[in-house]
Structure 1
Amino acid sequence: MLPVLLVAVDNTVLSFALPAISEALAPSGQQLLWIVDVYPLVLAGLLVPMGSLSDRLGRRRLLLVGGTGFTVVSALAALAPDAGTLIAARALMAVFGAMLMPSTLSLIRNLFADPVQRRTAIAIWAAGFSAGAALGPVVGGLLLEHFAWGSVFLLAVPVMLPLLVLGPVLIPESKDPSPGPVDPISVVLALATMTPLVFAIKSLTASGLDLLAALCLLASVAAGITFVRRQLARPEPMLDVTLFARPVFTGAVLANLLSVFSLVGFLYFVSQHLQLVSGRSPMGAALVLVPGLVVTILAGLLAVRLVRRFSPAAVITAGLLLNAAAFVLVALTGTWGSDLLLLLAFVLLGAGVGAAETLSNDLILSNVPAPKAGAASAISETAYETGAVLGTAVLGSLLNLAYRRHVEVPADLDASQAAAASETLGGATAVARELPAAVAERLLDSAREAFDSGVLLTSGIGAVLMVVAAVIAHRTLRVTG
């Protein structure tokens, strides 16, 4: 559970550290997105290869290697002197992070053969994400009020040390008894599919369809088709793509992906809204979200009981509809500016994500034999991280686009100040500290209104996508009832 806790803490802490990073490192709007995006982008491309590798080399072994590397690089990220270095450190963290997550879920699949025990264990595993998300803002908020932004990355050290010391003693090793050979070409193809896809999405939302975006999309599709054909042709594929022919499996993966899309997209802007628009401290902003994070934990555990009376399809569908309702409330928040509505929206979102994530992960794992658990876990985690990438890339980019189009920069600013203020709300807040009170007030009023102007658009898109996801889940998963 410790690696699960760490990854959740890292993701949530980063969301709350974005305003401080914006002021300290002065990244552009695209660099700010890449600080968030590069980790799940690299992770999404490597999860399937690492999951397959854990089946071959041993899940505990890869878990400990990943834990060691993640801890060391997190400490280095805390010392990054500029945005480019931080992006590079986040990319390297993703390489080791890709070793962590499939190993944890596949170890659970092999430790618990009984379906009820396995479902309960997965609920606890999912609750670990939520507990980390709850711990991250509170501890991170406390650190950000007293120390520099880099302190949030140092959280990895105390979390991972017990794993590295006790893991070899307490965790049993497991692996596929008859693994196939490692396939480097498939690894490259997996990365070549994910990387240009996300880059194209970011480019589309930032500047529309241009030649570069079109070429990236074509490259992604070509690499994806080649990857699938290679897996079908090999006697021992890195990823058994025929699993996607099962409606339950595919529906569970999509439910997983879109649930995380909603969660990460929400956190991207709500953390900035609470601090930079509402004027709350990092700790105060974190406390607003704690009720929703607690509900996420409880919903995951409750889902295990609910499926004794209702089908998994019904529970997952209801969870996705709760996500849609949360985005409708966010749209109202954009109109009324109420932090109470944000709190209620995140409670609804937490309930939906907690239920949908727990049961979708269980359905994914229960559709494969135990020896292939690493590969199946990697598919689940790939869906999770792809949802994280898309949540930030789509909703975050649209939000930044709305900001840039609506912000009005006072004429009193010099060129560098105007450039920083027109890129991000964090940049405008930092510039305002250097200005006379009257000019600063005009800039901040415009910047905050511009930031919130994107709320209605992004929340509307989120609500529609969650309704679509609920329809897909209802149609594909009801065979399990």
Structure 2
Amino acid sequence: METSNASPPAATRREWLGLAVLMLPTVLLALDMTVLHLAVPQLSADLHPTSDQLLWILDIYGFMIAGFLVTMGTLGDRIGRRKLLLTGATAFGAASALAAFATSAEMLIAARALLGIAGATLMPSTLSLLRNMFHQEHERTVAITVWMTGFIVGSAIGPLVGGALLEFFWWGSVFLLGVPVMALLLVCGPLLLPEFRDEQAGRQDFLSALLSVAMVIAVIYGLKDMARNGVSWMPLLSIVAGLVIGVLFVRRQRRLAEPMFDLALFRNRTFSTSVVAMLLTVLALSGAWLMVFQYLQGVLGLSPLHAGLVMLPPAVIQTIVSLLVPRLTRYMSRGVLVSVGLLLSMFGFLAMAMVNGMDNMPWLVAGMTIMGVGVMPMMILGTDMVVSAAPPNKTGAASATSETATELGMALGIAVIGSAGAAVYRAHMAGVLPPDLPADLTLAAGDTLGGALDAASQLPPDVADLVLSGAREGFTQALHTNALIGATIVAITAVMVGWLLARRQAAPDDTTQTETP
């Protein structure tokens, strides 16, 4: 009989090589989220999409990923996580080729939707496989740290890789990155990745899956529409509909003898606190982070490549420091380390609130570096605590919950904090725009920084300078506002984590898993 205090087995070389394989989709998805925006000018000139079609080209990928994460995570628990990963990789590679050679905006939108659905299979599969491959807590933390660096590396090199491809090839080349990466995953995956599934899971409940997809897509669509177009009845109706569907989803899970998603996961304090903390952290980050590239290009006048190079040192430092997180867990508890990191990130946000023009560029770089370093314990250990708190046979659902919280936090950050910054910008512009400007240019310049830059190109030099100086000052104030809101959120999250996770529950044992070589 196995004793409860038996030491879990250490990872072998096969598991560590498998970790390298699992990093492939992680890097690719981070790349895919950044390179498309660089290709928009060439894509628009070739396919001639309408403004609404262009928005769907950019947004449909994120909608599908967010909507299908929970469904795909629970599906992996049932049919096998390696099988789902390899099936998703095949679909992702095929959809990438379809997008690369799209001949119309409608075809590209459809391909991006397929990419999103396929992408939703990759992240929960990779994360749940890590939970089942690395049984010792310290090794699992190291593995998740390495896995997380894939996001950092992919995000950092995205602008550089995308810029290089677009310099020599057509816009579709940014999608073809996915084909060789997925091909390598399909070759190496069966050799290095074991199969895991929950043998006790029942059949997939398709009505629950439909409710889950509709719930998340409706809420995120409403939040993104409000962020772009302001508060109106349509996005509010979408959010309310999503919340109503969410209530129906929860009620159905409670009634089913074999629910698609086990709501009992949220009774674990470590699990629920980590999920909420990750959502709040990403919310704070997205409200300020997404303004930085606009600031570098629209306010400071840097080229996309130059802006990418400016952001490279923070990414490199963040990657190096993140690798120290597992070692630091030997000297302080995870809750304390996460809290200390979030408090450190608060000072990064505050440094960003001091940026004002090219002379303060070091403040911006320092702020982004400190902020990125500070949130890494939350992103690494939070992810680790989410998947470790769940039973091994439920890690697909747990991983999907973690990823969905991240997607929802990003949408909330853009909608809520972004709207606060937009209000500051509009209020500033209302007081500085010349009263004799044409109505359409006044509306465009007073709405967004991009609109102000476009309006200035149509005005005489003296008036254009007035509009540009006002827009740059207004956007700088908006950046300061978002940074201060972000600092407040991470400070509150740090206190919450320190209080609720002071005595973190031990992770469940690994005796319930089923492995198929």
Relative to the length of structure 1, the TM-score reads: 0.87
Structure 1 segment 324-339 matched on structure 2, within 5 A? 324-334=346-356, 338-339=360-361
For residues 328-371 of structure 1, give each alpha carbon's deviation from its aligned partner in whole angstroms, at most 9, with x where no partner exists.
Answer: 12221158872221111111121122211110111111112222
Name the aligned partner's letter for residue 413 of structure 2.
Answer: G
| Residue pair 2:63, 2:221 contacting (<8 A) in 1 also | no
DSSP-derived class of the 1:182 partner: coil
| Residue pair 1:142, 1:282 contacting (<8 A) in 2 also | no
Q: Which runs of 5+ in 1 are unaligned?
A: none
Residue 118 (structure 1) shift: 1.3
Give the structure with the higher percent helix.
1
When residues 307 and 290 of structure 1 are mapped into structure 2, their CA distance, relative to the original with a 3 A threshold, is: same
DSSP-derived class of the 1:174 partner: strand
| Residue pair 1:320, 1:352 contacting (<8 A) in 2 also | yes
Question: For residues 122 and 239 of structure 2, what CA distance do their matches in structure 1 show?
Answer: 29
Name the aligned partner's letter for residue 490 of structure 2.
Answer: M
| Residue pair 2:271, 2:385 contacting (<8 A) in 1 also | yes
When residues 262 and 159 of structure 1 are mapped into structure 2, their CA distance, relative to the original with a 3 A threshold, is: farther
Structure 1 segment 354-433 matched on structure 2, within 5 A? 354-404=376-426, 406-407=428-429, 424-430=448-454, 432-433=456-457
DSSP-derived class of the 2:198 partner: coil
Question: For residues 445 and 97 of structure 2, what CA distance do their matches in structure 1 show?
Answer: 30
Match of 1:53 in 2: 75
1:471 to 495, 502, 505: 495
Match of 1:99 in 2: 121
1:64 to 65, 68, 86: 86
DSSP-derived class of the 1:478 partner: coil
What is the count of residue pairs matched by the alignment?
A: 480
Higher RCO structure (Cα 8 Å, ≥6 apart): 1
| Residue pair 1:432, 1:443 contacting (<8 A) in 2 also | yes
Question: For residues 459 and 231 of structure 2, what CA distance do their matches in structure 1 show?
Answer: 37
Match of 1:128 in 2: 150
| Residue pair 1:46, 1:191 contacting (<8 A) in 2 also | yes
| Residue pair 2:230, 2:419 contacting (<8 A) in 1 also | no
Residue 315 (structure 1) shift: 0.8
| Residue pair 1:23, 1:430 contacting (<8 A) in 2 also | no
1:169 to 191, 202, 226: 191
Match of 1:458 in 2: 482
For residues 286-319 of structure 1, give each alpha carbon's deviation from its aligned partner in whole angstroms, at most 9, with x where no partner exists.
Answer: 1211222123323332111111110100111112
Name the aligned partner's letter for residue 248 of structure 1.
Answer: T
| Residue pair 2:285, 2:486 contacting (<8 A) in 1 also | no
Question: For residues 255 and 36 of structure 2, what CA distance do their matches in structure 1 show?
Answer: 41
Question: For residues 39 and 378 of structure 2, what CA distance do their matches in structure 1 show?
Answer: 28
For residues 195-240 of structure 1, give each alpha carbon's deviation from its aligned partner in whole angstroms, at most 9, with x where no partner exists.
Answer: 3323443455567665445433432332222212221222222111
When residues 337 and 50 of structure 1 are mapped into structure 2, their CA distance, relative to the original with a 3 A threshold, is: farther
When residues 390 and 36 of structure 1 are mapped into structure 2, their CA distance, relative to the original with a 3 A threshold, is: farther
Match of 2:66 in 1: 44
Match of 1:253 in 2: 275
2:469 to 428, 440, 445: 445
When residues 187 and 204 of structure 1 are mapped into structure 2, their CA distance, relative to the original with a 3 A threshold, is: same
2:134 to 112, 121, 144: 112
Q: Which runs of 5+ in 2 are unaligned?
A: 1-22, 506-517
When residues 11 and 65 of structure 1 are mapped into structure 2, their CA distance, relative to the original with a 3 A threshold, is: same
Of 190-199 and 9-18, more deviation after overlay is shown by 9-18
Match of 2:11 in 1: none
Of 76-85 and 159-168, more deviation after overlay is shown by 76-85
Residue 399 (structure 1) shift: 3.8
When residues 209 and 420 of structure 1 are mapped into structure 2, their CA distance, relative to the original with a 3 A threshold, is: closer
Residue 434 (structure 1) shift: 5.9
Question: For residues 388 and 150 of structure 2, what CA distance do their matches in structure 1 show?
Answer: 20
Relative to the length of structure 2, the TM-score reads: 0.82
| Residue pair 1:274, 1:339 contacting (<8 A) in 2 also | no
| Residue pair 1:412, 1:439 contacting (<8 A) in 2 also | no
Match of 1:286 in 2: 308
Match of 1:267 in 2: 289
When residues 283 and 211 of structure 1 are mapped into structure 2, their CA distance, relative to the original with a 3 A threshold, is: closer
DSSP-derived class of the 1:280 partner: coil
Name the aligned partner's letter for residue 458 of structure 1.
Answer: N
When residues 269 and 439 of structure 1 are mapped into structure 2, their CA distance, relative to the original with a 3 A threshold, is: same
Question: For residues 79 and 435 of structure 1, what CA distance do their matches in structure 2 show?
Answer: 39
Structure 1 segment 290-329 matched on structure 2, within 5 A? 290-329=312-351
| Residue pair 2:222, 2:238 contacting (<8 A) in 1 also | yes
Of 445-454 and 221-230, more deviation after overlay is shown by 445-454
Question: For residues 430 and 68 of structure 1, what CA distance do their matches in structure 2 show?
Answer: 42
Highest CA radius of gyration, 1 or 2?
A: 2
Of 301-310 and 89-98, more deviation after overlay is shown by 89-98
Match of 2:249 in 1: 227
When residues 87 and 361 of structure 1 are mapped into structure 2, their CA distance, relative to the original with a 3 A threshold, is: same
| Residue pair 1:19, 1:426 contacting (<8 A) in 2 also | no
Question: For residues 448 and 435 of structure 2, what CA distance do their matches in structure 1 show?
Answer: 18
Tell me the percent identity. Answer: 44
Residue 281 (structure 1) shift: 1.8
Question: For residues 451 and 472 of structure 1, what CA distance do their matches in structure 2 show?
Answer: 32
Question: For residues 39 and 319 of structure 1, what CA distance do their matches in structure 2 show?
Answer: 31
For residues 45-73 of structure 1, give each alpha carbon's deviation from its aligned partner in whole angstroms, at most 9, with x where no partner exists.
Answer: 21111001111122222212222333343
Match of 1:11 in 2: 33
2:218 to 190, 196, 207: 196
Name the aligned partner's letter for residue 355 of structure 1.
Answer: P
When residues 345 and 300 of structure 1 are mapped into structure 2, their CA distance, relative to the original with a 3 A threshold, is: same
DSSP-derived class of the 2:187 partner: helix
When residues 310 and 48 of structure 1 are mapped into structure 2, their CA distance, relative to the original with a 3 A threshold, is: same
Question: For residues 318 and 375 of structure 2, what CA distance do their matches in structure 1 show?
Answer: 7
Let me know the Cα RMSD of the aligned residues. 3.4
When residues 178 and 14 of structure 1 are mapped into structure 2, their CA distance, relative to the original with a 3 A threshold, is: same
Of 292-301 and 281-290, more deviation after overlay is shown by 292-301
Name the aligned partner's letter for residue 373 of structure 1.
Answer: T
